Amino acid sequence: MKLNIALALMVASLWGLAGCESEDPEEQPLQTGGSAGAAGQAGAAGQAGAAGQAGAAGQAGQAGAAGQAGAAGEAGAAGQAGAAGSSGAAGAAGTCNVDEGMTVLDNAACQPLASDYTPRDNGSANDSWPACISDDNVYHPFNASVGSNARVAAFEEIAKLLGFGGTKTPTQQNFLDAKVAYSQAEGLQSRLSRREDNHYPPATKGGVAVQCRDLTADEQKAFPDRCVGPVKIQPLIEDALNDGTLGTEPELNATRVEAGLLWFLMISVHKETDTCGSSALADCDSATAYFAGKQSREDPLGFGRYVKARSPQAYDRGWDALLAARCWRDLDSALPATDTTMWHDVLSQLDHAILRGFALIVRDRLQNVTSCPLAFESVRILGPVLDRAAREKDPTKAATLLAEVSKTDASQVNVATATTALDALFDCP
């Protein structure tokens, strides 16, 4: 554009010079050039040039801020139901009262046998026994200190720790403390490890009668009924204590400990009375302690506490039987005793009383087997203990009772049938 304008100006300038040339150069003033003309109008825009090559790509810019969440979409159609899952494991038994509705039975109608010792009946004036130290209805111990009282006290301590009867849910610490009470020197554990049931024939080794404590653990297993302490009761109790310390089934394991210890106390009363006649007069003291826990009948502990709560008459008959043992050893202090007839009468009177008491515990818990798993567990352990004595009385009723108390499903137990058989077999102390 500028070039065109310049050329135009140059042409115009030259044109001006030619047009003004004078015919007489001397008469015309000398002119050096014309004035500039007005600027011409801008020419039309030229055509656009061809596009240049693309430049190099620039650096990526920073990411922009996240956009707002969009509105929720419409719900999809419901899917098909999944397959049913497998059943979960059964839950642990909850705490329940095993003695709910406990019945206190009156055995006043039961009459003592002619061979029974009855010191509360006019100072034993109405029985056939000769006058003796027990006619005052007070137990006179041979020794001032009775070690078995401490074992029964340990039973009571364990009962509180573990909540016997379903009175609490014991903790793992409760079980640890119970193990300490159980394993005290000369305590429950020491006697369980050698406890014999003298209702059965003695154990033998090489054809010779021996005590269970003189046998190895494997040898004891050949005599499970006689060596019942180490073979049956001790494993039951110690397995339950160990499981309880791990937090396993605390209520059920507490019930197992209770049942095992009641079993031990009951057979200990009989065993100590028997050996009082054969080897140690002071075993009569132990028998009394295992029955009532101390040398007083008014406020019993241990096994006697359970019996008295269910039948004061049955408890009194048991106490009378222990006074009979003391009377017998007052009249016949030889070792072994020489009056075997009186010995037999003592053991017979004692068995009637303690078996009736034991049966009453089973009877009460039978009533609650379908509502309380703890009661069912107790019946399954304690019920079969009565089978030996039951078979001696009535094999048919014994079989009926054993069948019911041995069932593995509480709902299948016929409580009425079992109770009827139990009452017929152990009707009077």
How far apart are alpha carbons 405 and 385 in whole angstroms?
Answer: 10
Spans of the chain, pLDDT less than 50: 1-32, 85, 87-93
Q: Please tell me the distance from the alpha carbon of residue 173 to that of residue 256, in angstroms, as a whole number.
A: 17
pLDDT for the residue 26 = 39
Residue 202 belongs to domain spanning:
133-425
Q: Give residue 169's Cα distance to chain centre.
A: 8
In a domain, 126, yes or no: no
Instruction: Examine residue 116 and state whether it is found in any structural domain, yes or no.
Output: no
- Lookup: tokens for 427: 């009707």
Domain annotation covers residue 149: yes
CA distance 207 to 355: 32
Distances (CA, A) of 96 to 74, 152, 169, 382, 418: 52, 25, 10, 18, 22
Is 371 among the domain residues? yes
Closest CA to 328 of 146, 79, 117, 142: 117
Radius of gyration of the chain (CA): 54
Does residue 193 belong to any structural domain of this protein?
A: yes
Tell me, yes or no, whether 380 lies in a domain: yes
Residue 203 pairs in a beta bridge with: 210
Residue 226 lies in a domain: yes
Which of 100, 94, 95 is closest to 368 using CA atoms? 100
Q: Is residue 37 part of a domain?
A: no
Q: Give pTM, 2 decimals.
A: 0.78
Q: What is the pLDDT of residue 49?
A: 58
Contacts of 72 (CB under 8 A, 6+ apart): none
Strand partners, 209: 204
Provide the pLDDT for residue 428: 83
SS3 212: helix
Closest CA to 229 of 263, 202, 274: 263
Say how far apart CA 357 and CA 20 lie, in whole Å. Answer: 165
**Number of domains comprising the chain:** 1
